[in-house]
């Protein structure tokens, strides 16, 4: 990731009391050749530590898409998609 600057943006949630990362999500860049190599953002790899599940943290990452859209606008993306293969699904109410 270090060698691919401006291609990956990682958001983490940390339990400050324990000094432990308990969740993460990645916004990655892909280039669309059919759109003259325009950038597209993909929200993927949303994970939450198993001992913190059920606290709506996964939902927080998905709901924070507005922040990711702002980031996409700043770095000139054409679109943002959320990619998810539900391994351990959470409820969205």
Per-residue pLDDT reduced to its tens digit, 30-74: 777 776 777 777 777 888 998 998 888 887 877 776 666 666 666
The pLDDT, as a whole number, for residue 91 is: 47
CA distances from 6 to 41, 46, 47, 67 (A): 11, 19, 21, 16
- Per-domain boundaries in the chain: 8-82
Looking at domain 8-82, its CATH superfamily turns out to be Gcn5-related N-acetyltransferase (GNAT) (3.40.630.30)
Top-ranked range on mean pLDDT: pick from 14-28, 45-59, 73-87: 14-28
| Confidence (pTM) | 0.64
């Amino acid at each position: 990731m270090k060698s691919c600057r401006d291609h990956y943006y990682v958001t983490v949630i940390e339990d400050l009391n324990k000094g432990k990362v308990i969740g993460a999500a990645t916004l990655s860049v892909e280039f669309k050749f059919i759109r003259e190599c325009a950038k597209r953002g993909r929200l993927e790899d949303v994970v939450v530590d198993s001992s913190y599940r059920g606290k709506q943290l996964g939902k927080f990452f998905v709901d924070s898409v507005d922040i990711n859209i702002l980031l996409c606008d700043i770095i000139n993306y054409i679109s943002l998609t959320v990619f998810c293969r539900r391994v351990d699904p959470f409820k969205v109410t």
